[in-house]
Amino acid sequence: MSNNHKDERVTHALYWEELAKADPAEVCARTEAIYNLDRKGYILPILNQKYLILPEEQKILCLRGDFCEEENLRDFFYLMVLLYLLNAKKGEPTRTWISEKELKGGTTFFRGPHALQVEELKTAFGKNPGSFGRAGTVLGGVELLFGDKAFSLTVFPKVPLAYILWKEDEEFPPQVTVMFDSTIQEHFSLDGIWCIVAEVSQRLLDARKP
């Protein structure tokens, strides 16, 4: 195991411990999660799917009807869920969309290794806006009238995200832009925002259909 992976596991453990000590009523008031007293966990809608977050067991389960299932969830997913439950503030999204360059510190942060992960989306969907739209629908996307295909996604109750695709043509390569609600930095730091985009972009790739 690499040192970076060890560091991630230690960080996750600290976040789990902090969440286990938190007051469920306070967490729910900030995040719009619902506390399940029997399971001692939080039910939270994430990208068109409900999850049960169990701080004492340090697990996240997918809720399908009355059943819970374990999924092979990426570290990005665990991290963004824990950060949301620990740090989300009261208040509602404005639905005013801004780019990463309009985020405080975003111009210098989102470059090089921290560039938003959209390159694979360009390759996968650059010639097929319809497939891009269908992938968004799987995640609960609501169509927006931008570019050649665009949709908004509710990542968390307080955190909407928008993806915009301009398809490839004879003059220009494909382009994918991610837009953020103007309130996102009330809930997440820049590295947390990067983590969200990495996870959502991968889920769009996983959801693609011809």
pLDDT tens digits, 153-162? 999 999 999 9
* pLDDT at residue 4, as a whole number: 46
pTM: 0.92
State the fold for domain 97-206. Answer: TATA-Binding Protein (3.30.310)
Tell me the DSSP string of 106-123: HHHHSSGGGS-S-HHHHH
Strand locations in the chain, DSSP E? Answer: 34-36, 41-46, 49-54, 59-64, 67-70, 97-98, 142-144, 149-156, 159-166, 175-181
Of all residues in the chain, the percent with pLDDT exceeding 70 is 94
- pLDDT band, residue 210 (cuts 50/70/90): low
Query: What single-letter amino acid sits at 11?
Result: T
Please state the three-class secondary structure of 154-178 as a single string. EEECCEEEEEEEECCCCCCCCEEEE
Residue predicted with more confidence, 69 or 42: 42
* pLDDT at residue 71, as a whole number: 87
Greatest CA separation found in the chain? 59
C-alpha 144/C-alpha 150 separation (Å) is 5
Does an H or E element contain 209, and which? Answer: none
* Spans of all domains in the chain: 3-87, 97-206
